[in-house]
Amino acid sequence: MSLNEITTRITAAEVAAGRAAGSVSLIAVSKVQPNERVKSVLDQGQRVFGENRIQEAAGKWPEFRTQYDGIELHLIGPLQTNKARQAMELCDAIHSLDRPKLANTLARLAQERGACPDLFIQVNTGEEPQKAGILPAESDKFIKECQSLDLSIRGLMCIPPVEEEPSLHFALLAKIAKRNGLDGLSMGMSSDFESAIALGATHVRVGSAIFGERVVS
């Protein structure tokens, strides 16, 4: 599939949901993709990208930023506290704020830098033990905790369990966001971004449908 097809499908989903065309931000997930594929998508005009590992992001995006204007980089994978500073320097948004220790570190660095990327709190909507994210039952408390640290929370993020109907998880995430007065929703990937948009996604994270299957070396 091409970038063009995906943006067309996003617009159709926005309109079908009675939402303004262009209200959903497409994050092109470029992790593990060869640089030529990323360049080709940059050349087609895409400027918002997602990476799940800070090391990999540091290896490729500073160079692309010197070649293309207006790049916006989103960290969508787990963040270790000792990489928080690097993540803040490199990224415009972090979608994986998932524990008090990381919130404290980000708050301290934000004070020090006088700036902070957009932050999304990751919620483990499927309550999967191996998956990152704050549990739904603890999310209201954690959101308030982050806000009391003066972190400006853009919204919530989830990755539904692979075996389950994703729309149930999207609806749960939307409900938690709404009762906490948050309007950013980072949800929906290649196979389910249209249903995420129907349920209020503001940011969809689409990788393989744009770039092709990831080549695992």
Ligand X SMILES: *Cc1c(COP(=O)(O)O)cnc(C)c1O
* Cα(155)–Cα(144) distance, integer angstroms: 12
Q: Which two tokens stand for residue 138?
A: 């603890």
* Cα(150)–Cα(146) distance, integer angstroms: 7
* Cα(58)–Cα(109) distance, integer angstroms: 19
* Block residue for tokens 């992001």: 57
- Nearest distance from residue 21's CB to ligand X, in Å? 22
Q: Which residues in 167-186 contact ligand X (CB under 6 A)?
A: none
- Nearest distance from residue 41's CB to ligand X, in Å? 13
* Cα(49)–Cα(108) distance, integer angstroms: 26
* Cα(153)–Cα(57) distance, integer angstroms: 22
Residue 160 binds ligand X, judged by CB under 6 A = no
Binder of ligand X out of 86, 167, 180, 190 (CB under 6 A): 190
Residue 41 binds ligand X, judged by CB under 6 A = no
Q: How many CB atoms lie within 10 A of CB 209?
A: 19
Binder of ligand X out of 31, 53, 60, 85 (CB under 6 A): 31
Binder of ligand X out of 177, 182, 189, 197 (CB under 6 A): 189
Residue 207 binds ligand X, judged by CB under 6 A = yes
Q: Which two tokens stand for residue 155?
A: 């919204």
- Rounded to the nearest 10 degrees, the angle between the axes of helix 166-179 and helix 136-148 is 40
Residue 159 binds ligand X, judged by CB under 6 A = yes
Task: From 33-41, 64-72, 99-107, 205-213, give the range in contact with ligand X by CB under 6 A.
Answer: 205-213
Kindly tell me which of 149 and 164 has the beta carbon lying closer to ligand X. 164
- Nearest distance from residue 38's CB to ligand X, in Å? 14
* Cα(125)–Cα(94) distance, integer angstroms: 18
Kindly tell me which of 77 and 166 has the beta carbon lying closer to ligand X. 77
* Closest C-alpha to 12, from 198, 200, 201: 198
Kindly tell me which of 90 and 209 has the beta carbon lying closer to ligand X. 209
- Nearest distance from residue 111's CB to ligand X, in Å? 28
Residue 155 binds ligand X, judged by CB under 6 A = no
Kindly tell me which of 172 and 187 has the beta carbon lying closer to ligand X. 187
Contact between residue 132 and residue 122 where contact means Cβ atoms under 8 Å apart: yes
Q: Which residues in 59-78 contact ligand X (CB under 6 A)?
A: 76-77
Applying CB under 6 A, the residues found at the interface with ligand X are 29, 31, 52, 76-77, 159, 189-190, 205-209
